[in-house]
Structure 1
Amino acid sequence: MSTAASDARAGALPPVRRIGQGTMLAYAFGAVAYGVKDSGFGTFLLLFYNQVIGLPAATVGLVVMCALLIDALIDPAVGFLSDRTRGRWGRRHPWMYAAALPIAVGWIFLWNPPALSEPATLLWLFVMAVVVRSAVSCYEVPSVALTPELTADYDERTRIMAYRYLFGWAGGLVMLVAAYQVFLAPTPAFANGLLNRAGYANFAIAGAVLMAVAILASALGTHHEIKHLPRPDLRGGTLRSSFAELMATVRNRAFLVLMLAGVCAYTNQGISYALSNYLYSYVWGFRGATFVYLMFVLFTGVVLAFLFAPRAAKRFGKPRTAAVAVSLAMLFQTAPYWLRLAGWFPDVGAPLLIPTLFGTYILSTALNVSAFIIGASMMADVVEDSETRTGMRSEGVFFAGSFFVQKCTSGIGIFLAGLILAMAGFPEKATPGMVPVATIDRLTIVYGGIYLALAFTSALLFLRFPFGKAEHDARIARMAGA
């Protein structure tokens, strides 16, 4: 092999190294943008367009899921084009810088629909959902694709993902606290602040600013790494040959297993997000400050995942740890609803209700987020597995698939949540405490049953992942030796 060829090959393989703390924090801070978007989409979007604007819940869910079909085309296109971008700012940073303004503008429009007919308002929702999620894709896909480029170390990739999830959840929970305590807090005019339309406008502005700041700070904070990132050769060819390369990449077995496992896990998260305010307010009777305490409870679970996931994955292996985490999370997430139906759970207003619920929330959040962290780390490891099979490094394509799966949170999840509300016969603009018990029972039974089925399937799929640390390290050693 010639010296030039050796240099090119070395430039295409990231080093096995530990990331500096400054770079790590800057890189992870960018995930705040996705956390803000995800908490808004997942927690408030269905509620806003259903209970505030007055559109049918099932129809809102269908529209948001239809927007997901556009994402199925946009996400791989962004990943593929990012992989093929060349310039002095590398493959990822041009996309990251360019996404900040469109995300902020689209986010503000999403929460401020003009006075239109019902069909026109649904069209507005569809268009704005596509704009926001496409703009987020243009940032998040190239950004998260940096993970396997920054290091080839098997365990360091899990640590990177733990930081990203920590910051992503922190951003989302900060916006939730701000929503419950400031923007959507009860007022004399709105005893239930979640129905205050003007509050959503201010919520949108604050979220737009935070997302733009996080994106630009992360891009600037990792800019110095551009010169160290892999520089794989760019193959020429026609559009047809490029499409053939893309198909060869995504047929990777490990990639497909993670995609299917992620669809199940993130759809469950999406259903839980979309129904959260219904469950908190109408099933458990949460009021006022309880919502604020809840945010700290959830973040406690995220911190536990941040500490637990890298260590458990290193000791027990990524696939097994992810499968066990999903399975245990399933039990803690649904147990309160089954126990309530059996009459074995504290009643609304009982002193033990909130502490018991918060305990299960901490454990289920810690386990679910651990599974997400490990799954994302496994996706980073697929890059070299694919490279040995196809000769191409396709970080952008793989993480486009991973990001599309995460969008199932606000696509399929919201759609199913809308169907669950329709099946339960849940009324629009309902008052907490006034919904019939039979309706609440139907809501929790359908929710719990769907959650169990999806979580069980996800755990089985994680166990089907085809390789672990030994195979990955051997692969890296062979590639470095070549």
Structure 2
Amino acid sequence: MTAQAQKLPTRLAVFHGLGSIAYGIKDNGFSTFLLLYCNLVLGMDPRTVSLALMLALVIDGFIDPMVGYMSDRTVTNWGRRLPWLYIAPIPLAIAWVTLWSQTEAPGFWGLVAMAATVRILVSCCEVPSVALVPELTRDYDERTTLMRFRFLFAWAGGLLLMFLAYSVFLAGPEGMLSADGYRNYGLFGGVLIALAVLASAAGQHALIAVRPPAPKSPFSLRTAFAELKECFSHKAFLILLLGGALANTSQGVTFSMSNYLYLFVWRFSTADLFWYPLVLFASVIVCFLVLPHWHKRWGKRDTAVVTAVLGMLFWVTPFILRAMGLWAQEGTPASTIPVFAFFFVCNVFSVSAMVSASSMMADVVEASEEQTGRRSEGVFFSGSFFMQKCSTGLGIFITGQMLAMAGLPEKARPGQVSAAVIDSLSLTYIIVVAVFAVLIALVLRRFPITRADHEARVAALGAARINPDAEGMHP
């Protein structure tokens, strides 16, 4: 009996999701700490840093589709994806430690090289891993289950490192300006990245290590680019790419701006920074629990549309009230506790939108197969990563420009920056976030695949004796 004919084992979903810890650590580190580390610790201009990180993302983004394509065509006794998951994590861990162990500014091209290396190696872990989702199950809801576990572990990995950064690594007298703290942050993260990916691969090995059929066409660059072009022209896929590009650009701005907002706008104390990651993780748990009910009632598309807008509204409300003079003094419990409450609700909705959109990507696989007769899980998910990285890089680049335009000094310290600079930065930020949220909702609303469409398509493929996992693996 195939994985599609029986209920997805929970232990498989857990081990599958475990591998995304590496992506969560990378994403949190790059989006939350790296710009600040290079700017305020190494003394690099924020515009230079943001441009270098964006260029590294673009370089990696162009490599991602080929990683996905080669993953789809890998044929071993351990299947298509497992060899990648065993080989890539060790060099990734080494590259991650190196990035956070700089004793002086690495320069523009040095930062580009280090950031691109980390991101390419993350792709070699994450693309094959997430490409297993449509191979493991065709069920509309079980794909959401796999994605929920992926997001749960990704957030857990990222927030664990954030928690340790605030409470251990960067908790000394220098705070978030400690070079030694970032070095220890990188070392711990590198070890955890390697262990998580290897444990995920080992935990799935017995169930998915099956030699797949050979690809239907021999490899050639001409064939590769023709098949990539065919996948990238699919309407549903293009809608998700555009919606995801907007979402990840907005997320890139928010994550790279977050520490500046926490330090300069909300004046979070060391104790506040200790509790904040726990608040965020609690919101992810709530999302993990409620999302299946929302999908059963409204479907993935409508859930993504509504939660994207609601998340934005709860996020910007404290900033708006502060600008109107209706918020308590920043840095006091009367300010911080309501901020935590608003951000908690915001994150429940925002993560729900991201999980829903990611699960929608898995449903594009059968829609494409119906047209081409070919499974292309790796290509579609690598295309999604291409979009994520380019747009996240754009978000970080936008943040660098916003910081420079607002006039935030290099090596600025909380309490030593004028209120006019902070207010200008805050206002610009909430306008950007609000505009992106509305555009995301408008784009995702056009996604054409509903639950009924997907289930009818899977039934039709089965009736035509086309096995959707013909090149895949299943327990």
TM-score, length-scaled by structure 1: 0.93
Matched, 1:81 2:70: yes
Partners of 1:89 and 1:42 in 2: CA distance? 34
Partner residue, 1:259: 241
* CA displacement at 1:93 relative to structure 2: 0.6
Matched, 1:291 2:273: yes
Deviations 1:348-400 (A, max 9, x none): 14442112101111111111100111111000000000000111100000100
Equivalent residues of 1:17, 1:151 under 8 A apart: no
Partners of 1:356 and 1:114 in 2: CA distance? 39
**Distance verdict in 2 for CA 1:447–1:455, change over 3 Å:** same
Residue from 202, 208, 226 that aligns with 1:244: 226
Q: Please identify, of 23-32 and 128-137, the stretch whose mean Cα deviation from structure 2 is larger.
A: 23-32
Partner residue, 1:31: 20
Equivalent residues of 2:64, 2:382 under 8 A apart: yes
* CA displacement at 1:250 relative to structure 2: 1.3
Equivalent position amino acid for 1:87 in 2: T
Matched, 1:159 2:145: yes
Q: Secondary structure at the match of 1:430?
A: coil
Matched, 1:226 2:200: no
Equivalent position amino acid for 1:112 in 2: S
Equivalent residues of 1:30, 1:217 under 8 A apart: yes
Matched, 1:45 2:34: yes
Equivalent residues of 2:310, 2:349 under 8 A apart: yes
Partner residue, 1:376: 358
Matched, 1:446 2:448: no
Equivalent position amino acid for 1:258 in 2: L
Partners of 1:237 and 1:143 in 2: CA distance? 22
Deviations 1:260-284 (A, max 9, x none): 1111111111111111111001101
**Distance verdict in 2 for CA 1:351–1:70, change over 3 Å:** closer
Residue from 36, 48, 51 that aligns with 1:62: 51
Partners of 2:239 and 2:141 in 1: CA distance? 20
Equivalent position amino acid for 1:378 in 2: M
* CA displacement at 1:405 relative to structure 2: 2.9
Deviation above 6 Å: which 4+ runs of structure 1? none
In structure 2, list runs of 5 or more residues that go unmatched.
Answer: 465-475
Partners of 1:268 and 1:281 in 2: CA distance? 20
* CA displacement at 1:463 relative to structure 2: 0.4
**Distance verdict in 2 for CA 1:246–1:64, change over 3 Å:** same
Deviations 1:315-358 (A, max 9, x none): 10111110000000111111111111111112214442112101
Q: Please identify, of 234-243 and 442-451, the stretch whose mean Cα deviation from structure 2 is larger.
A: 234-243
* CA displacement at 1:112 relative to structure 2: 2.0
* CA displacement at 1:406 relative to structure 2: 3.0
Partner residue, 1:201: 183
* CA displacement at 1:411 relative to structure 2: 1.2
Partners of 2:450 and 2:415 in 1: CA distance? 50
* CA displacement at 1:232 relative to structure 2: 7.0
Q: Secondary structure at the match of 1:88?
A: coil
Partners of 2:220 and 2:160 in 1: CA distance? 47
Matched, 1:399 2:388: no
* CA displacement at 1:429 relative to structure 2: 1.2
Q: Secondary structure at the match of 1:222?
A: helix
* CA displacement at 1:304 relative to structure 2: 1.2
When the two chains are superposed, the root-mean-square deviation of aligned CA atoms in Å is: 1.6
Equivalent residues of 1:265, 1:458 under 8 A apart: yes
Partner residue, 1:108: 97
**Distance verdict in 2 for CA 1:292–1:340, change over 3 Å:** same
Equivalent position amino acid for 2:160 in 1: V
Equivalent residues of 1:150, 1:229 under 8 A apart: no
Partner residue, 1:19: 8
Equivalent position amino acid for 2:401 in 1: L
Percent of matched pairs sharing the same residue: 47
Partner residue, 1:144: 130
Equivalent residues of 2:68, 2:127 under 8 A apart: yes
Equivalent position amino acid for 2:245 in 1: V
Q: Secondary structure at the match of 2:216?
A: coil
Partner residue, 2:471: none
Equivalent position amino acid for 2:130 in 1: V
**Distance verdict in 2 for CA 1:295–1:114, change over 3 Å:** closer
Partners of 2:352 and 2:80 in 1: CA distance? 29
Q: Please identify, of 160-169 and 238-247, the stretch whose mean Cα deviation from structure 2 is larger.
A: 238-247
Partner residue, 2:450: 468
Partner residue, 2:116: 130
Partners of 1:306 and 1:81 in 2: CA distance? 32
Equivalent position amino acid for 2:240 in 1: L
Partners of 1:349 and 1:48 in 2: CA distance? 23
TM-score, length-scaled by structure 2: 0.95
Counterparts of 1:175-214 in structure 2, within 5 Å, are 175-187=161-173, 190=174, 193-214=175-196
Equivalent residues of 1:113, 1:124 under 8 A apart: no
Partners of 2:182 and 2:390 in 1: CA distance? 23
Partner residue, 2:469: none
* CA displacement at 1:199 relative to structure 2: 1.0
Partners of 2:332 and 2:178 in 1: CA distance? 29
Deviations 1:159-195 (A, max 9, x none): 11011101110111110111111111122xx2xx111
Q: Secondary structure at the match of 1:411?
A: helix
Deviations 1:276-323 (A, max 9, x none): 111001101111110011111111111111112222012101111100
